[in-house]
Amino acid sequence: MAAAIRLSHRHSGLTDTNPSVGALIVKDGAIVGSAVTAIGGRPHAETQALAQAGDRARGATAYVTLEPCAHYGRTPPCAEALVAAGVRRVVCGAPDPDHRVTGRGFAILQNGNVSVEARVLQTEASEMLSGYLTRSLKRRPEVTLKLAVSTDGMIGRKGNEPVAITGPVAGRQVHLLRAFSDAILIGIGTALADDPQLTCRLPGLEQRSPARFILDSSARLPLASRLAQTAQTVPTTIVADEQAARPADVEALRDLGVDVLFVPHSNGELDLPGLLQGLARQGISTLMVEGGAVTASAFLRNDLVDRIVLLTGPEAIGAEGIAAPLLPAQVPERFMAWRENRFGNDLWQEWVRAV
Ligand code: AOF
Ligand code: ZN
């Protein structure tokens, strides 16, 4: 199962709304088939691994990171294919919460006289599938909140000047995180202060930039901003309040290729859970929230954060700084420490929701 999970990373982020699943077929101690969900999401892992194994699948054991599917979608059910191939035993990582599959995949196997061992290395398998599982179970994307904080606990300086808090090595790690996210979101304050691009600029991964969302109730995103100017290349959406946005601003942004998404607001405040449900319906499984303080606080207040990445840089900003909405010592108890690294002079600390 550990090998199947490692294999499944190959198409992480490349299988559209489908999870990237790994499948290994083992016969007499040898791997006779190994595959991962194809780029774009189909064919599924099991059918490819079975095709490789051919007749050798008879009497073999299959290791699959997710419960094999039970539905006739764009491909016939993998559970039936495993039975038909004469596989004797199937070992699975995570059960599939998809309502067309859940429990039925296992039932098809058992009715076909295949022995099933479910939930083997479930935690590890689920970690790899976390975006997909969160979208299926919670009907919203998995949210990673990333904040860069100075050594004295500031995320920037008052006034509209961008401040570099972390160095280039940590910066590249952030770009890598972006490459594996379906979407990235910031508030208009950060868009105005930093004029960011929010793309992945690592060599070879430029095509993996996430779709960009800006919380911008009154459609203030400047037409000259880098976000608006590159909207033809990277999908860019402002989330606005139809009551607060001027139609002329909306039109001008749309002319540049920016999508304008009107989401209900009450008392000037956006319905954040509703927005995330909408993003999940669009097939977005992983969302990175990159600032600033108001946006981060809103996600935390609504308990919509699954993963926290706090980067701490070596320099102080001082009295004119903007205080961070969250410091390492303030991470809520429902999160557990997950990973800690040093990148150059910066500290990278990561927490995940414990339940
Ligand atoms: C598997 N093996 O490799 C994957 C599975 O749109 P469809 O027909 O491709 O179905 C999508 C669903 O298939 C998805 O929601 C999940 O339940 C399952 N993904 N299943 O047996 C695979 N990627
Ligand atoms: Zn399948």
* pLDDT tens-digit map of 25-51: 999 999 999 999 999 999 999 999 999
Mutate which of 44, 102, 136 to test ligand 1's pocket (most atoms within 8 Å of Cβ)?
A: 44
What is d(CA 173, CA 346) in angstroms, rounded to the nearest whole number?
A: 11
Ligand positioned closest to the Cα atom of 45: 1
Percent of the chain residues topping a pLDDT of 70: 100
231 marked as binding residue: no
Residue 162 pLDDT: 80
SS (H, E, C) 146-186: EEEECCCCEEEECCCCCCCCCCHHHHHHHHHHHHCCCEEEE
Strands 236-240 and 211-215, sheet pairing: parallel
**Ligand 1 neighbours by CB, cut-off 6 Å:** 18-19, 21, 37, 41-42, 44-46, 66, 68-69, 73-75, 78, 96, 98, 101
157 marked as binding residue: no
State pLDDT tens for residues 306-316. 999 999 999 99
Question: Which ligand 1 atom is the nearest neighbour of the CA of 73?
Answer: 8
242 marked as binding residue: no
Question: Which ligand 1 atom is the nearest neighbour of the CA of 101?
Answer: 17
List, by residue number, the catalytic residues: 46
Which secondary structure element, helix H or strand E, spans residue 50, and what is its range? Answer: helix 45-53
- The interface predicted TM-score of the complex, written ipTM, equals 0.94
CA angle 13, 191, 152 (to 5 degrees): 90
Ligand positioned closest to the Cα atom of 35: 1
The pTM assigned to this predicted structure is: 0.94
Residue 39 pLDDT: 96
Ligand 2 mean position to 31 CA, how many Å? Answer: 20
Residue 160 pLDDT: 66
Ligand 1 mean position to 18 CA, how many Å? Answer: 6
71 marked as binding residue: no
Question: Which ligand 1 atom is the nearest neighbour of the CA of 100?
Answer: 17
Report the number of secondary-structure helices (H) and strands (E) in the chain.
12, 18
265 marked as binding residue: no
Instruction: Concatenate the DSSP letters of all residues of 224-285 into one string.
Output: TSHHHHTTTTS-EEEEE-TTTS-HHHHHHHHHTT-EEEE--EETTEE-HHHHHHHHHHTT--
Question: Which ligand 1 atom is the nearest neighbour of the CA of 67?
Answer: 21
Ligand positioned closest to the Cα atom of 39: 1
Q: Using 50 as the pLDDT threshold, list the residues of the chain that sit under it.
A: none
Residue 301 pLDDT: 95
Mutate which of 69, 80, 137 to test ligand 1's pocket (most atoms within 8 Å of Cβ)?
A: 69
In this structure, which residues have their CB less than 5 angstroms from ion ligand 2?
44, 69, 78
Ligand 1 mean position to 348 CA, how many Å? Answer: 34
Ligand 2 mean position to 69 CA, how many Å? Answer: 4
Ligand 2 mean position to 176 CA, how many Å? Answer: 29
List the residue whose alpha carbon is closest to atom 12 of ligand 1: 18
What is d(CA 108, CA 92) in angstroms, rounded to the nearest whole number?
A: 14
